[in-house]
């Protein structure tokens, strides 16, 4: 039986049955500083070297997209740090950014943490700042409610963190590319929230040209648990290469979205059962958000961890899992490509033109207006355009187009010259399929 811990505005929040949640809260509302301290938060920072060792042994991976090892990021920033003029002993000219700009439409986990457990995020930010010896930190968001909750949390603390860096909350307009790490750095530096050329990477030259650690808020939210209980306890959940738990936003047509805390390595079929969907009714899924494209029913045989999904040509990404049940996969792919066409940064010609071309071809296919030449062009674009943009948007569009053609050939064929019965009978796919409506999730 699933144990519902809290819900807000239609979002159900559920830990994995039989487990003690590390990130989710029992009950609703916003956790106060008093409640967080009562749960063991804001412990005095002890040995930074000891914490760094626990972080490395834990195998903590980033929760924002690529699953990059957190300890490697920390090492890169520490390696480029330098002691600034007049800096107190033990501190350096480095910067840390808690990235909460959750640009993925099908994800709501970062905003939930910021809205309901801002002190957990701030405590993680404080510990990360100690690891890179930083005195300057930013909380980077686009959601007004998240910004308000963080500001309120800081006010509870008297305007700043205990034994922590000086914190500034930066809010930008939402956008798919706004959460990319170089876009975050450029926005904090006063520019547009759009990706920049690499190198340099932020760990080399980020905010104000200083070595900068940009880390997703869920990643940071794992640090207080690690600091208190250590790497061995952290590794008690998950797999050897994907340790710990992760937050998954699960969406499906006709159902309220749900936020789950799950152990890495959970069979996908178990998540499907937890969400109350029969395996026989599943047509496919988008895992990790829009970036890696569509999976077909072979997803039923996979487990939810980085290594397994990577072998399957997908990725866990930000933990957003959209279940394709009633919808035609062709219509879903067309909706995703249309979204990329709308949301590309408009600064790389290959991306601006490439996403538009692929969206037009997929749209024609969904409408039953495409022919064999359109499919051949879509196939060619999905191959030759890879790697040509400043960020991952164009690659994501290529992944969507290629996965549709490779994994759903029967549905694609059914759309040549006519719409399939499902598309003819149902409404057009929204331009951001499976989007979680943040304005109603308070």
pLDDT-derived band at 427 (thresholds 50, 70, 90) equals low
Integer-rounded Cα radius of gyration of the chain: 22
26 pLDDT more than 80: no
Distances (CA, A) of 212 to 136, 186, 388, 418: 10, 12, 25, 52
β-strands 266-267, 303-304 pairing: antiparallel
The mean per-residue pLDDT over the stretch 343-360 comes to 92
Residue 84 has a pLDDT of 57
Residues 435 and 431: their CA atoms lie apart, in Å, by: 9
Residue 389 has a pLDDT of 80
Residues 218 and 70: their CA atoms lie apart, in Å, by: 12
Q: Tokens at residue 136, please?
A: 């300057």
pLDDT-derived band at 65 (thresholds 50, 70, 90) equals confident
Domains, in order of start, for the chain: 1-30+238-325 (3.10.20.600), 33-234 (3.40.50.11540), 329-440 (1.20.1440.230)
206 pLDDT more than 80: yes
Q: Tokens at residue 151, please?
A: 């500001």
Question: Picking from 25-34, 112-121, 237-246, which range would have the lowest pLDDT averaged per residue?
Answer: 25-34
The mean per-residue pLDDT over the stretch 331-354 comes to 93
431 pLDDT more than 80: no
Question: Picking from 2-16, 100-114, 296-310, which range would have the lowest pLDDT averaged per residue?
Answer: 2-16
The pTM for the full model equals: 0.93
Q: Which positions ≥6 away from 126 have C-beta within 8 Å? A: 42, 45, 161, 162, 163, 164, 165
Mean pLDDT of the chain: 91
182 pLDDT more than 70: yes
Q: Tokens at residue 161, please?
A: 């963190």
Is the distance from CB of 108 to CB of 249 less than 8 angstroms? yes
Is the distance from CB of 154 to CB of 137 less than 8 angstroms? no
């Amino acid at each position: 039986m699933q144990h519902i811990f809290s819900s807000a505005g239609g979002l159900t929040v559920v830990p994995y049955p039989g487990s003690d949640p590390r990130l989710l809260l029992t009950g609703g509302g916003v956790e106060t500083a008093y409640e967080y301290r009562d749960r063991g938060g804001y412990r005095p920072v002890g040995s930074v070297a000891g914490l760094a060792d626990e972080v490395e042994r834990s195998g903590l991976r980033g929760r924002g997209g690529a699953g990059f090892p957190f300890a490697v990021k920390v090492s890169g920033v520490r390696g480029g740090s330098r002691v600034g003029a007049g800096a107190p002993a033990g501190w350096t000219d480095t910067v840390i950014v808690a990235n909460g700009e959750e640009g993925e439409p099908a994800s709501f986990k970062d905003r939930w943490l910021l809205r309901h457990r801002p002190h957990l995020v701030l405590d993680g930010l404080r510990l990360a700042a100690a690891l890179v010896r930083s005195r300057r930190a930013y909380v980077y968001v686009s959601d007004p409610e998240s910004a308000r909750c963080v500001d309120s949390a800081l006010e509870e603390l008297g305007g700043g963190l205990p034994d922590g860096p000086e914190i500034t909350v930066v809010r930008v307009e939402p956008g798919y590319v706004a959460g990319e790490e170089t876009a975050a750095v450029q926005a904090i530096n006063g520019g547009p929230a759009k990706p920049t050329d690499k190198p340099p990477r932020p760990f080399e030259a980020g905010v104000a040209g200083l070595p900068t650690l940009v880390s997703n808020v869920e990643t940071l939210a794992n640090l207080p648990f690690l600091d208190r209980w250590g790497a061995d306890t952290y590794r008690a959940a998950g797999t050897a290469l994907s340790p710990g738990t992760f937050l998954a936003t699960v969406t499906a047509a006709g159902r309220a979205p749900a936020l789950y805390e799950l152990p890495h390595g959970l069979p996908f079929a178990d998540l499907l059962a937890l969400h109350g969907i029969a395996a026989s009714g599943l047509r496919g899924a988008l895992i990790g958000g829009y970036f890696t494209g569509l999976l077909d029913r072979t997803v039923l045989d996979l487990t939810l961890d980085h290594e397994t999904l990577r072998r399957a040509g997908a990725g866990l990404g930000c933990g957003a899992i959209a279940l394709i049940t009633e919808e035609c996969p062709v219509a879903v792919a067309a909706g995703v490509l249309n979204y990329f066409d709308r949301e590309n940064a408009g600064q790389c010609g290959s991306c601006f033109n490439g996403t538009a071309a692929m969206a037009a071809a997929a749209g024609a296919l969904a409408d039953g207006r495409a022919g064999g030449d359109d499919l051949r062009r879509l196939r060619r674009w999905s191959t030759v355009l890879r790697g040509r943009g400043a960020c991952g948007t164009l690659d994501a569009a290529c992944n969507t187009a290629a996965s549709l053609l490779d994994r759903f050939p029967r549905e694609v064929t059914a759309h040549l010259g006519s719409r399939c019965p499902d598309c003819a009978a149902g409404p057009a796919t929204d331009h951001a399929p499976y989007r979680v409506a943040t304005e109603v999730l308070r």
